[in-house]
């Protein structure tokens, strides 16, 4: 299992106590301030990326562009709303970090492949799902008010993800469980869009994994791979880790939506607590898209 039922219960309990999205910095009890600032700046890094993505994409693609792509203008208006949510997350995280006495990280420089409306929606879908996995991944590093606040953002990110799944004609919530990723795994995904940062996030991404679905299998490649080395595909989804020899890299039959794929040097399923056997990835893929 990718995470324990204990961690699920604690996250759900925190989420259930949230009655509204934060509109001001959370009230802070005595805690490990340095650690909290680090986690919050990590979250802020991701929220900066999402916010800038929506700013650039919505500036480039008008209602008319969406209509030309056979997407209802209401879809664009709802995506505008999503972008406003992400901007609010930036403001609240920034204010909370300052309240803790920390220095909020500034935005990085980004490059988004915004070739057309379909690409814009596809990237939005991927970023929102990654956001859910990111907040789940740091839930065990927070407690009290900060955990509740992070959970309230995670549930909103999940609503964004569900809506964007529906937009492309796929199941809004494909699994009963979402998949947490480690900070390094998340940064590997995010670094696809980051060209330069004005600070050191303290994370080194894994090698970027090129992965393309071909029928029931995934074709993979990454820089510097050794053709004589035995490697494995590991599929992360729905609180599961399924392993396949890389020469097969067969998608598990129970995958019905998104999945993360990593290449490892071991057939032993990786755990959330140990990602040291990852060689490349994760790559985020969606099965079942029309």
Q: Which of 13-27, 33-47, 150-164, 184-198 has the lowest mean pLDDT?
A: 13-27
Give the pLDDT mean for 104-119. 96
* pLDDT above 80 (res 215): yes
For residue 218, is it within any domain? yes
For residue 240, is it within any domain? yes
* pLDDT above 60 (res 16): no
For residue 199, is it within any domain? no
CB 288 within 8 A of CB 256: yes
CB 175 within 8 A of CB 257: yes
> What pLDDT is recorded for position 49?
98
- Domain count for the chain: 2
CB 207 within 8 A of CB 185: no
Q: Which of 6-20, 75-89, 163-177 has the lowest mean pLDDT?
A: 6-20
CB 180 within 8 A of CB 194: no
For residue 193, is it within any domain? no
90 and 229, same domain (yes or no): no
72 and 125, same domain (yes or no): yes
> What pLDDT is recorded for position 289?
54
Please tell me what DSSP assigns to residue 74: H
Dihedral sign from CA coordinates of 121, 126, 130, 132 = positive
Of the residues 134, 154, 176, the one at which a domain ends: 176
Q: Which two tokens stand for residue 232?
A: 């494995």
239 and 154, same domain (yes or no): no
108 and 12, same domain (yes or no): yes
Full domain range(s) for residue 257: 210-286
> What pLDDT is recorded for position 288?
78
For residue 102, is it within any domain? yes
Q: Which of 222, 254, 247 is nearest to 232 (CA)?
A: 247
Write the CATH number for 137.
1.20.1260.10
More confident residue, 32 or 42: 42
Instruction: Read off φ and ψ for residue 213, nearest 5 degrees.
Output: -75, 125
Please tell me what DSSP assigns to residue 142: -
Q: Which of 230, 207, 217, 229 is nearest to 259 (CA)?
A: 217
41 and 172, same domain (yes or no): yes
Give the pLDDT mean for 29-52. 87
Q: Which two tokens stand for residue 49?
A: 């990326």
Please tell me what DSSP assigns to residue 229: S
For residue 146, is it within any domain? yes
172 and 85, same domain (yes or no): yes
Alpha carbon distances (Å) from 59 to 86, 127, 220, 230, 246? 16, 18, 34, 46, 41
Q: Alpha helices, DSSP H only, in 168-289? A: 183-190
For residue 201, is it within any domain? no
> What pLDDT is recorded for position 27?
43
169 and 114, same domain (yes or no): yes
145 and 11, same domain (yes or no): yes
54 and 138, same domain (yes or no): yes
Return the percentage of the chain with pLDDT > 90, whole number: 82
170 and 214, same domain (yes or no): no
* pLDDT above 70 (res 9): no
Beta-carbon count within 10 A of 115 CB: 9
9 and 143, same domain (yes or no): yes
167 and 69, same domain (yes or no): yes
Q: Are strands 232-237 and 258-264 parallel, antiparallel or unpaired?
A: antiparallel
């Amino acid at each position: 299992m990718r995470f324990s039922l204990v961690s699920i219960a604690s996250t759900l309990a925190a989420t259930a106590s949230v009655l509204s999205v934060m509109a001001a910095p959370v009230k802070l009890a005595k805690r490990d301030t340095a650690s909290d600032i680090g986690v919050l700046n990590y979250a802020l890094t991701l929220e900066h990326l999402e916010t800038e993505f929506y700013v650039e994409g919505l500036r480039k693609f008008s209602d008319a562009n969406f209509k030309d792509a056979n997407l209802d203008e209401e879809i664009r208006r709802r995506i505008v709303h999503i972008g406003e949510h992400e901007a609010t997350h930036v403001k609240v995280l920034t204010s909370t970090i300052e309240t803790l006495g920390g220095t909020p990280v500034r935005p990085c420089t980004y490059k988004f492949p915004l070739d057309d409306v379909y690409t814009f929606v596809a990237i939005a879908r991927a970023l929102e799902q990654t956001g859910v996995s990111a907040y789940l991944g740091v839930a065990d590093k927070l407690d009290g008010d900060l955990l509740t606040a992070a959970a309230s953002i995670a549930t909103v990110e999940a609503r964004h993800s569900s809506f964007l799944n529906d937009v492309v004609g796929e199941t809004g919530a494909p699994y009963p469980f979402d998949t947490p990723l480690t900070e390094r795994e998340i940064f590997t995904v995010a670094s696809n869009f980051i060209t330069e940062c004005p600070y050191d996030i303290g994370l080194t991404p894994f090698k970027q994994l090129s992965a393309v679905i071909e029928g029931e299998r995934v074709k993979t490649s990454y820089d510097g791979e050794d053709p004589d080395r035995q490697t494995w595909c590991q599929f992360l989804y729905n609180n599961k880790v399924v392993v396949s020899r890389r020469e097969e890299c067969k998608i598990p039959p129970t995958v019905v939506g998104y999945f993360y794929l990593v290449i490892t040097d071991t057939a032993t399923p990786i755990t959330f607590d140990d990602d040291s056997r990852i060689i490349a990835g994760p790559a985020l893929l969606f099965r079942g898209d029309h």
